[in-house]
C-alpha cells in the first residue's frame, strides 16, 4: 500500500514538472502607457493635423511647428496673436458654436481671466501619457506647475522677466540702478509702455511694481506723471524703440523682443539683476492648455506630450530665450539672471491675479490715454 501511494505521489510530481517545462512562456503585456500612447498616436496620424492658437513671433512659431511636424508627420496649423486677440477670437467663435482649436500657448492673464472663465479648456491630466513628462523629478518644482486648481494650464517657462529695454543710441542701460530712475524729469514723455490695463507684459510689469514693497501704488502714481505713452497694439513697440522713436519701453513682448535682438537692432535689455528691485518671475507667453471640444483630440494629446518633453521644451525655451521649467533642458541659450530665484515675486499666480483688481482701479485713475 505504501509503495502504491509512493508511485502515485511521484507520478503526480512528474506530471507537474513536465507541464512546467512544456508550457510556453507568455511574453509580458506592453505597459499600459505604451499601449495608450500607441493607440493615441495612430489615431492622431489619422487626424493628420493639430491646430494651435499661439503667440506672435517667427522664432516661436517655427519652434512650435517644424520640429513636431518632422518628428510625427502631423501638420501643425498655427495662428499667432496677442493675448487680447486670442481671447476675443475664442470667445466670439464659441458664442457662434465654433470649436476650431486644439492647443493654447499663451499668457497667464489670458488663460485665467478670459479662457478658463468661459470653460474653454480641459484638464491636462488626461492628456499626459509619457512617463518622461509625468516624472516629478524632471520639473523644477517637483512636478508640472499649474496656474489653476483644475490643472488646466501648465507653466512651461517660469523666468525672471525683462521689464525695461532701451535704445542704446539714446540711453545707457547700466544707468538704471532702480526703477525709480524712470522718474527723472528728463524721461518725461519719453517712456513707452504696453498698455497695463490689458493682459500682457505691460500689465505684468505694473503688477510687479504694485506688489513690490519698495515701489507700490505711490511709485505707479509718480510714474504716470511722467506722461507715459501707452500702446494698446504692441505689435510695433519694440521696433519703435529700435528706430529711436521712444528711448525706453516698459513691458516688451518676449517673442517680439527675441526677434528684434536677432535682427541686431540698437536695443538693449536693462539687466534686472543690476536693478535694485530685480524683476518678477513669469512664464510670459509660455503656458500651455488643451481646448475642450477640440477638433483633433488625439493629435492634441500627442502635441502636449511632445511640447512638455525635453525636446519640445528645448526648442520652445531657445526660441523665447527663456528658462524651461524642466530641469533637464539646457540653459546655454539663457542669461544666468533669468533662472528663477527663491522668494522672487511671482506675477502669474492666482493671488497676484486677485491683486490686479486694485491695480486696474489705480491705473484707470492715473492713466489718461
Degrees to nearest 5, angle at CA 249 with 284 and 108: 15
Considering the domain architecture, whether residues 108 and 254 belong to the same structural domain is answered as no
Q: What is the mean pLDDT of residues 315-330?
A: 95
Q: List phi, psi (to 5°) of 94.
A: -70, -35
The per-residue pLDDT for range 240-290, each reduced to its tens digit, is 999 999 999 999 987 788 778 878 889 999 999 999 999 999 998 899 999
Task: Judge if 59 and 175 occupy the same domain.
Answer: no
Length of the chain: 369
**For position 232, what pLDDT does the model report?**
87
Residues with Cβ < 8 Å from 175, sequence gap 6 or more?
A: 181
| pLDDT greater at residue 68 or residue 9 | 68
For the chain, give the percent of residues with pLDDT over 90: 77
Average of per-residue pLDDT across 314-338: 95
How many domains is the chain partitioned into structurally?
A: 2
Cα separation, 287 vs 314, whole angstroms: 15
What is the pLDDT of the chain when averaged over all its residues? 90
289 with 140, same domain: the answer is yes
Q: Would the pLDDT of 26 be above 50?
A: no
Handedness of CA 185, 260, 163, 87 (dihedral sign): positive
pLDDT, one tens digit per residue, over 205-231 is: 999 999 999 999 999 999 999 999 999
H and E: helices and strands count for the chain = 13, 13
Cα(349)–Cα(339) distance, integer angstroms: 18
| 9 within a domain of the structure (yes/no) | no
d(CA 104, CA 87): 11
Written as nine digits, the cell of 237 is 513697440
Question: 320-338 burial by CB neighbour count: b if 16+ within 10 A, else e?
Answer: bbbbbbbeebeeeebbebb
177 with 246, same domain: the answer is yes
pLDDT at 220: 98
Q: Looking at residue 20, what is its pLDDT?
A: 36
Mean pLDDT of 312-336: 95
In angstroms and rounded to an integer, the radius of gyration of the C-alpha atoms of the chain is 27
Its domain, for residue 193, covers 162-279+355-366
Q: Where are the beta strands (DSSP E) in 118-243?
A: 121-122, 153-155, 159-160, 164-167, 191-194, 229-231
- Residue 295 near residue 115, CB atoms below 8 Å: no
Residue 336 has pLDDT above 80, yes or no: yes
Question: What pLDDT does 369 receive?
Answer: 73
Q: Is residue 92 part of a domain?
A: yes
User: Has residue 201 got a pLDDT over 50?
Assistant: yes
CATH code, domain carrying 231: 3.40.190.10
Are residue 109 and residue 184 in the same domain, yes or no?
no
- The H-or-E segment that residue 364 falls in is helix 350-366
pLDDT band at 14 (very low <50, low <70, confident <90, very high): very low
6 occurs within a structural domain: no
**Given this model, what pLDDT does residue 87 score?**
94
Give residue-wise pLDDT tens across range 129-185.
999 999 999 999 999 999 999 999 999 999 999 999 999 999 999 999 999 999 999
Q: What is the pLDDT of residue 180?
A: 98
Query: Residues 301, 42: contact at Cβ < 8 Å?
Result: no
Q: How far apart are CA 38 and CA 172, in angstroms?
A: 55
Best CA proximity match to 129, nearest among 201, 199, 31: 31
Based on the domain organization, do 236 and 359 belong to the same domain? yes
Instruction: Identify the residue whose cell numbers are 489619422.
Output: 46
The pTM of the whole model exceeds 0.85: no
Are residues 203 and 141 part of one domain?
no
Which pLDDT belongs to residue 16? 36
Query: Do residues 208 and 243 share a domain?
Result: yes
Amino acid at each position: 500500500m505504501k509503495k502504491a501511494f509512493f508511485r502515485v505521489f511521484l507520478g503526480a510530481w512528474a506530471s507537474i514538472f513536465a507541464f512546467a517545462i512544456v508550457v510556453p512562456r507568455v511574453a509580458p503585456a506592453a505597459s499600459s502607457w505604451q499601449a495608450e500612447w500607441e493607440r493615441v498616436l495612430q489615431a492622431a496620424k489619422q487626424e493628420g493635423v493639430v491646430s494651435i492658437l499661439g503667440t506672435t513671433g517667427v522664432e516661436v512659431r517655427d519652434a512650435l511647428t517644424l520640429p513636431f511636424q518632422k518628428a510625427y508627420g502631423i501638420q501643425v496649423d498655427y495662428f499667432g496673436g496677442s493675448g487680447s486677440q486670442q481671447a476675443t477670437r475664442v470667445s466670439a467663435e464659441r458664442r457662434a458654436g465654433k470649436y476650431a482649436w486644439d492647443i493654447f500657448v499663451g499668457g497667464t492673464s489670458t488663460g485665467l481671466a478670459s479662457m478658463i472663465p468661459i470653460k474653454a479648456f480641459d484638464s491636462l491630466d488626461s492628456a499626459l501619457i509619457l512617463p518622461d513628462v509625468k516624472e516629478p523629478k524632471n520639473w523644477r518644482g517637483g512636478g508640472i506647475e499649474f496656474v489653476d486648481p483644475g490643472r488646466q494650464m501648465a507653466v512651461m517657462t517660469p523666468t525672471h522677466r525683462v521689464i525695461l529695454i532701451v535704445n542704446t543710441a539714446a540711453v545707457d542701460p547700466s544707468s538704471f540702478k532702480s526703477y525709480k530712475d524712470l522718474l527723472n524729469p528728463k524721461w518725461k514723455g519719453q517712456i513707452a509702455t504696453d498698455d497695463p490695463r490689458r493682459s500682457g507684459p505691460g500689465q505684468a510689469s505694473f503688477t510687479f511694481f504694485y506688489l513690490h514693497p519698495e515701489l507700490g501704488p505711490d511709485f505707479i502714481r509718480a510714474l504716470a506723471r511722467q506722461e507715459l505713452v501707452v500702446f494698446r497694439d504692441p505689435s510695433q513697440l519694440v521696433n519703435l524703440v529700435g528706430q529711436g522713436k521712444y528711448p525706453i519701453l516698459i513691458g516688451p513682448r518676449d517673442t517680439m523682443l527675441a526677434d528684434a535682438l536677432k535682427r541686431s537692432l540698437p536695443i538693449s535689455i536693462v539687466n534686472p539683476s543690476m536693478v535694485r528691485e530685480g524683476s518678477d518671475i513669469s512664464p510670459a507667453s509660455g503656458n500651455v492648455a488643451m481646448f475642450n471640444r477640440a477638433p483633433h483630440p488625439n493629435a492634441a494629446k500627442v502635441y502636449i506630450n511632445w511640447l512638455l518633453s525635453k525636446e519640445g521644451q528645448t526648442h520652445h525655451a531657445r526660441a523665447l530665450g527663456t528658462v524651461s521649467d524642466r530641469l533637464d533642458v539646457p540653459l546655454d541659450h539663457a542669461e544666468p539672471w533669468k533662472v528663477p530665484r527663491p522668494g522672487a515675486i511671482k506675477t502669474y499666480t492666482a493671488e497676484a491675479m486677485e491683486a490686479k483688481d486694485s491695480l486696474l482701479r489705480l491705473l484707470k485713475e492715473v492713466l489718461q490715454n
